[in-house]
A and B are shown apart, each in its own frame.
Chain A
Amino acid sequence: MTQLQCASAVHPAATDARASGSPPPAVSARPWKRALTVFAVAAAGLALWATARADFLASPGWLAAQKAGLILGPIGAGIYWMRRRPGNRFGLLLIVLGLLGVPSILESSSDPTLFAIGVLDGTPIYAMTTVVILAFPSGRLEGLPERLVLAGLVVTMLLVVAVTESASHLVPGLAIPDCRAACPEPRLGLAAPRSDGIVEHVLGVLSVAVALGTAAVIAWRFHTGTPPRRRAHAIGSPIAVLFLLTAAAYRGLLVFEPGGLGAGERWIQDWLRWGLAGTLALIWSGYLLALVAAQLFAARVLRDVVDASMRRPSVEGLERLLRERLGDPGLRIGFWCERERDFAGTAGEPLEPSPRQALTTVEREGRPAAAILHDVQLSDDPELLSAAGSAALLAAENTELDRAWNASLRELEASRARLTQASDRERRKLERDLHDGAQQRLMAIQIKLRLAKDQTSDPRLADDLEAIGADAEQAVEELRTLAHGIYPPVLRSYGLTEALRSFSRSAPIEVAVRDDGIGRCPRTVEAAIYFCSTEAVQNAVKHAGDGARVMITLGRDGPLARFAIADDGVGIAEPSSAGGEGLIGMRDRIGAFGGEFEIRSSPGAGTTVRGTVPLNGNSR
C-alpha cells in the first residue's frame, strides 16, 4: 500500500471531507432568475398568441410553437446550466440566445415596420446560435479554428449590416418559412431585395463557409476529444450539426438559385426552411440533455471511485482508475503539502500543468486539500473532477488511516509482547531468587539448627530445635511449591514435554503428554504454551467431570509451535464463558506472541483447547 509522500497533506482526524469545489446544493433560484423565468414564459405566451393570430402566415400554428421554443428553451436550459455550473458562461450564452428570440415575435405583426424589425432579428439569432454551438460546452471560444469561424461570422454580420437592402430578402428567407399570400412589405426605408448583387453572392458563400466551418470544428472536437468531451458532443451537438448542415445547404441553394427553386422542386426548399426553423428552435434541448448526461456520468464515475475506495486502493491505483474512466492518460492526483505550500503528486513531485492541462483543486474547510492535474478539456465537467478529487482525498485518507491503524496495532502487539516477556523474565528471576536465595538460606538455617541441637545437652532445647527444624523443612517445601508454580525449573532445563509430564504427575486428573517433535522453543513461547496447557488442565479438572482423561499434544507446523489440550469429559455448552479470567489470560499470553488460540466444546464431546505460536516472531 502506498503512503502519501507528504503526510501533512492528510488530516485523518478531520471527518468533514466535503469538498468545497463540488457543485453547490440546489437552492431556490435567485430573484433575477425567477424574474427571467417569468419573463421568458410571458414572452413565449405572447409569441404563441401573436403568431397563432397572424393570419397572413402560411402555418401560424407551427410558427407559434417554433417562436415559443426559441425563447423558452434556451432561457430555461441556460438557467439550468447556470445553476449546475455557475463558473461556466455557456448558460449565459443560452440565455442571451433566448432573449434574442423575443424580438422575432414582431415577425408575426402585420405592421410593416414591426414586421421588418422582427425579420431583421433573424440575423442576430443566427449569429448567436453559431456562437452558442461553438462555445459548447466550455462557454468559451479559445482555439484557432473557433476564432477563424467567429471572424467569418463577424464579417458576414458586417456585410449584412452594410448591405441592409439585402437583409429584407436574406433574413425572412431564413426565419419565416412562408407567408400565405404576400408578406407585409418591410418598411424601414429599405430597398427591395436584389437578387443579383455580387455582395449577396459573397454573403451567401461566406454563410455556407461559416456553417460548414462550425460543423467541422464540432466534428474535429469530437474526433480529438477526451471521452467526456466526446460524450458531451455526441449528446449535445447532433441537432446543432443538423442545423448547420441544413443552413449550409439552404444558403448554397440560394447562391446557385437566387430566385429559389422552381415550382416542381419547391418542396426541397420548403423542407430545408422548415428543417432550419425546427432545428434552430430545438438546439437548446441537446445542450440540456448533455448537461444531465454529464451529471449522470459523473455520478457513475464517482460510484466506481467510491467502490474502488472500499477496496483500499493505493493512490496510484485510484489515479489509474480515473485515467481510464476519464480517458486522460496524463491525469495525476496530488495532495496539499503544508511544508512546501504546494500540491505534491503520488511520488512527491510537484504538479506542474503543461499547456494542455489544468489543475482542479479540492478544498476542505477553506483550505486546499487535494488537486487533480488533468487535460484541459476535462474542465468542461467540473462536477466530475471535484467529485473525483473528493473521492481521491477520501481514499487517500482511508489509506493513511489504515496505515496509522496498522502501525498502532503493531505497536500495541509489540507492547503486549514486551509486557508478557517482562513478566516472564520477572517470573524466572523470582523463581531463581526463591530457589537459589531464600531456599539456600533456609537450608543453612536447618544445618545450623542441627549443629546447635547436636551441641546442646538440654533435652527441652533439643526438642524445640527439632520442632523449628521441622518448621524450616515445611517452609522449604512450601517455597519449592511456590517457586515451581511461578516458573517450573524443568521447563527451563528440559522444555515443554518434560515440564508438562512432570506437571501431569501431580495433576488430580489423568494427563497424557504426546510429543510429535516440538523440541526446544524460545523461552517465551515455552512459557506461553506451558501456562496455557496447565490452565487448560485446571479447567478440565473443574469442568470435565469424574473419570475424564486429558491428552496434551505438542508439535510443530512449519514455523509454528502447535499445542492441543483435549479432554474426553462431559463438555460445556458455552466454552467461552468457562474458565473466565484463566481463559482470558491464556488468550493474552498466546496473543502476545502473535499466536492463535481456540477453545471448542459441546456437551458430551469434551473440550479441546488448541493453538499455535510462531517460533521466530517477536519472541525472546
Chain B
Amino acid sequence: VTIRVVLGEDSYLAREAIMHVLEAEDDIEIVAACSDLDSLRLTIADVRPDVVLTDISMPPSHTDEGIRLAAELRDTHPDIGVVILSQYAEPVFATKLLEGSTDRRAYLLKERVQGRGDVTRALQEVVAGRSIVDPRIVELLLAAQRRRDNSRFDTLTPREQEILGLVAEGLNNGAIAERIVITKRAVERHINSIFSKLGLADAEHYSRRVKAALLYLADRAG
C-alpha cells in the first residue's frame, strides 16, 4: 500500500533533498509540499494524506509550528500521522509532540534523512499507529539521567537502561530483540522488570509505553 505524504519544509534545499530521497521509495508518494504553516494546514484538509512529514519550524513564527500542527491534527484529523523532522536535538520538543497521546507521532532529527531507511521506517510506524522518538533524543535524556544522583534509576542494570532507551525511541519488542540480539522473550522480561522497578503502569500497552518511558526520562532529568 502506498503511503500518501504531505511535506512541510520552508527551506528549498532541504525540501528538494527530502523529496529526492523519498522519490526513490516505492511505497511512498509525496502528494504535496508546502513551505509555511497556513498552506500546509489547507493542503492537509484538502488532500487528506496518511502522514504529514514536516519541519518543526517554518513561517510565520519559526518556532514550533510542526508541533502545534500535530496537536491541531489530533483534534481535526486523528487518523493522520505526523512525523516531525527537526533540526533541534531538544527532548522538550519531543515530549511536547507526545503530549496527549503518542499514537501516530514521530520525532526525528533532520540528519536521519540521509539514512533513507530511518524516515521510511518512521512513516510506516506512524501509519501503523505507533510512535518513534529519535535515538539521539533518548540518548540525551539517558545521559542526563546518568549525570544525576538518582537512586531509583541506578537500580536499573545497564542492559535495562539500554532497553528503556529503545522503548522510548518507539521500538517494539521484536525490534529491540533484533537490535541488541537477544530473544523477544528476554526483551519482555527486561521490560517487565524495568517498569515494575520504576513504578510505571501500562507496560503491556505498547503505544503508551513509549510515552511513559520518554516522560519518565524527561521528568527525572528536569
Which residues of A pack against B, CB within 8 Å? Answer: 432, 435-437, 439-441, 443-444, 446-451, 469, 473, 476-477, 480, 488-490, 492-494, 498, 501-502, 504-506, 508, 510, 513
For the complex formed, measure the closest distance between the CB of B113 and the CB atoms of chain A, giving whole angstroms: 6
Q: A436-B11, A513-B222 are in contact. Are A505 and B87 (CB under 8 A)?
A: no
16 A-B pairs besides A443-B14, A447-B17, A501-B221 with CB distance below 8 A are: A440-B13, A440-B87, A443-B113, A443-B114, A444-B13, A444-B17, A447-B114, A449-B114, A476-B111, A480-B88, A480-B89, A489-B88, A505-B144, A505-B222, A506-B140, A510-B148
Q: Which of A435, A437, A508, A510 contacts B149 (CB 8 A)?
A: A510
For the complex formed, measure the closest distance between the CB of A372 and the CB atoms of chain B, giving whole angstroms: 64
What separation, in Å, do the CA atoms of A480 and B62 have in the docked complex?
Answer: 16
Q: Which of A440, A469, A498 contacts B114 (CB 8 A)?
A: A469
Q: Which of A436, A439, A490, A513 contacts B93 (CB 8 A)?
A: A490
What separation, in Å, do the CA atoms of A68 and B63 have in the docked complex?
Answer: 104
Is A447 touching B21 in the complex (CB atoms < 8 A)?
yes
- Determine the chain B residues whose CB is within 8 A of the CB of A504 once the complex forms: 221-222
Instruction: Specify the chain B residue showing the minimal Cβ separation from A443.
Output: B110
22 contacts between A and B (CB under 8 A): A436-B10, A436-B11, A436-B62, A440-B14, A440-B110, A441-B13, A443-B111, A446-B111, A476-B111, A477-B89, A489-B57, A489-B93, A490-B93, A492-B62, A493-B64, A501-B92, A502-B91, A505-B91, A505-B140, A505-B222, A506-B140, A506-B144
Is A480 touching B116 in the complex (CB atoms < 8 A)?
no
Instruction: Specify the chain B residue showing the minimal Cβ separation from A428.
Output: B62
Q: A435-B88, A436-B10 are in contact. Are A447 and B113 (CB under 8 A)?
A: yes
- Determine the chain B residues whose CB is within 8 A of the CB of A435 once the complex forms: 57, 87-88
For the complex formed, measure the closest distance between the CB of A603 and the CB atoms of chain B, giving whole angstroms: 25
Is A505 touching B114 in the complex (CB atoms < 8 A)?
no
- Determine the chain A residues whose CB is within 8 A of the CB of B67 once the complex forms: 493
For the complex formed, measure the closest distance between the CB of A499 and the CB atoms of chain B, giving whole angstroms: 8
What separation, in Å, do the CA atoms of A448 and B114 have in the docked complex?
Answer: 8
For the complex formed, measure the closest distance between the CB of B97 and the CB atoms of chain A, giving whole angstroms: 12
Instruction: Specify the chain B residue showing the minimal Cβ separation from A502.
Output: B92
- Determine the chain A residues whose CB is within 8 A of the CB of B16 once the complex forms: 444
Is A494 touching B64 in the complex (CB atoms < 8 A)?
yes
- How many chain B residues have a CB neighbour from A under 8 Å? 36
Is A450 touching B221 in the complex (CB atoms < 8 A)?
no
- Determine the chain A residues whose CB is within 8 A of the CB of B89 once the complex forms: 477, 480
For the complex formed, measure the closest distance between the CB of A407 and the CB atoms of chain B, giving whole angstroms: 37
- Determine the chain A residues whose CB is within 8 A of the CB of B189 once the complex forms: none
- Does B187 reach chain A (CB closer than 8 Å)? no
- Does B90 reach chain A (CB closer than 8 Å)? yes
Most buried by A among B141, B149, B222: B222
Is B92 touching A494 in the complex (CB atoms < 8 A)?
yes
Instruction: Specify the chain B residue showing the minimal Cβ separation from A453.
Output: B114
Interface residues of B in 1-44 (CB under 8 A from A): 10-11, 13-14, 16-18, 20-21
What separation, in Å, do the CA atoms of A449 and B67 have in the docked complex?
Answer: 29
- Determine the chain A residues whose CB is within 8 A of the CB of B92 once the complex forms: 490, 494, 498, 501-502
Q: Which of B14, B87, B221 contacts A480 (CB 8 A)?
A: B87
- Does B147 reach chain A (CB closer than 8 Å)? yes
Interface residues of B in 153-183 (CB under 8 A from A): none
- Does B60 reach chain A (CB closer than 8 Å)? no
Is A440 touching B149 in the complex (CB atoms < 8 A)?
no
- Does B115 reach chain A (CB closer than 8 Å)? yes
Q: A444-B16, A510-B148 are in contact. Are A439 and B91 (CB under 8 A)?
A: no
Instruction: Specify the chain B residue showing the minimal Cβ separation from A448.
Output: B17
- Determine the chain A residues whose CB is within 8 A of the CB of B121 once the complex forms: none
What separation, in Å, do the CA atoms of A501 and B67 have in the docked complex?
Answer: 19
Is B63 touching A501 in the complex (CB atoms < 8 A)?
no
What separation, in Å, do the CA atoms of A504 and B111 have in the docked complex?
Answer: 25
Instruction: Specify the chain A residue showing the minimal Cβ separation from B221.
Output: A505
Instruction: Specify the chain B residue showing the minimal Cβ separation from A436.
Output: B11
Instruction: Specify the chain B residue showing the minimal Cβ separation from A513.
Output: B222
Report the 5 A-B pairs with minimum CB-CB distance, sorted nearest first. Answer: A505-B144, A446-B114, A501-B222, A493-B64, A440-B11
Q: Which of B21, B63, B116, B144 contacts A489 (CB 8 A)?
A: B63
Is B141 touching A505 in the complex (CB atoms < 8 A)?
yes
- Determine the chain B residues whose CB is within 8 A of the CB of A450 once the complex forms: 21, 114-116
- Determine the chain B residues whose CB is within 8 A of the CB of A441 once the complex forms: 13
What separation, in Å, do the CA atoms of A506 and B110 have in the docked complex?
Answer: 21
- Determine the chain B residues whose CB is within 8 A of the CB of A492 once the complex forms: 62-63
For the complex formed, measure the closest distance between the CB of B147 and the CB atoms of chain A, giving whole angstroms: 7
- Determine the chain B residues whose CB is within 8 A of the CB of A513 once the complex forms: 222
For the complex formed, measure the closest distance between the CB of B121 and the CB atoms of chain A, giving whole angstroms: 16
For the complex formed, measure the closest distance between the CB of B119 and the CB atoms of chain A, giving whole angstroms: 11
Instruction: Specify the chain B residue showing the minimal Cβ separation from A507.
Output: B147
Q: Which of A432, A444, A446, A469 contacts B62 (CB 8 A)?
A: A432
What separation, in Å, do the CA atoms of A476 and B110 have in the docked complex?
Answer: 10
For the complex formed, measure the closest distance between the CB of B116 and the CB atoms of chain A, giving whole angstroms: 7
- Does B77 reach chain A (CB closer than 8 Å)? no
For the complex formed, measure the closest distance between the CB of B191 and the CB atoms of chain A, giving whole angstroms: 24
- Does B197 reach chain A (CB closer than 8 Å)? no
- Determine the chain B residues whose CB is within 8 A of the CB of A508 once the complex forms: 147
Question: When each residue 180-198 of chain B gets 1 if its CB lies under 8 Å from chain A and 0 otherwise, what string results?
Answer: 0000000000000000000
For the complex formed, measure the closest distance between the CB of B85 and the CB atoms of chain A, giving whole angstroms: 9
Interface residues of B in 47-106 (CB under 8 A from A): 57, 62-64, 67, 87-93, 96
- Determine the chain B residues whose CB is within 8 A of the CB of A506 once the complex forms: 140, 144
Instruction: Specify the chain A residue showing the minimal Cβ separation from B144.
Output: A505
- Determine the chain A residues whose CB is within 8 A of the CB of B149 once the complex forms: 510
What separation, in Å, do the CA atoms of A349 and B114 have in the docked complex?
Answer: 81
What separation, in Å, do the CA atoms of A477 and B67 have in the docked complex?
Answer: 22
- Determine the chain A residues whose CB is within 8 A of the CB of B64 once the complex forms: 493-494
What separation, in Å, do the CA atoms of A513 and B218 have in the docked complex?
Answer: 13
What separation, in Å, do the CA atoms of A480 and B222 have in the docked complex?
Answer: 21
What separation, in Å, do the CA atoms of A436 and B17 have in the docked complex?
Answer: 14
What separation, in Å, do the CA atoms of A493 and B13 have in the docked complex?
Answer: 24
- Determine the chain A residues whose CB is within 8 A of the CB of B222 once the complex forms: 501, 504-505, 513
Q: Which of A447, A477, A490, A501 contacts B20 (CB 8 A)?
A: A447
- Determine the chain B residues whose CB is within 8 A of the CB of A494 once the complex forms: 64, 92, 96
What separation, in Å, do the CA atoms of A436 and B63 have in the docked complex?
Answer: 11
Is A443 touching B57 in the complex (CB atoms < 8 A)?
no
- Determine the chain A residues whose CB is within 8 A of the CB of B114 once the complex forms: 443, 446-447, 449-450, 469
Q: A436-B10, A494-B64 are in contact. Are A489 and B17 (CB under 8 A)?
A: no
Is B140 touching A439 in the complex (CB atoms < 8 A)?
no
Instruction: Specify the chain B residue showing the minimal Cβ separation from A446.
Output: B114
What separation, in Å, do the CA atoms of A181 and B63 have in the docked complex?
Answer: 125
- Determine the chain B residues whose CB is within 8 A of the CB of A449 once the complex forms: 114
Is A493 touching B113 in the complex (CB atoms < 8 A)?
no
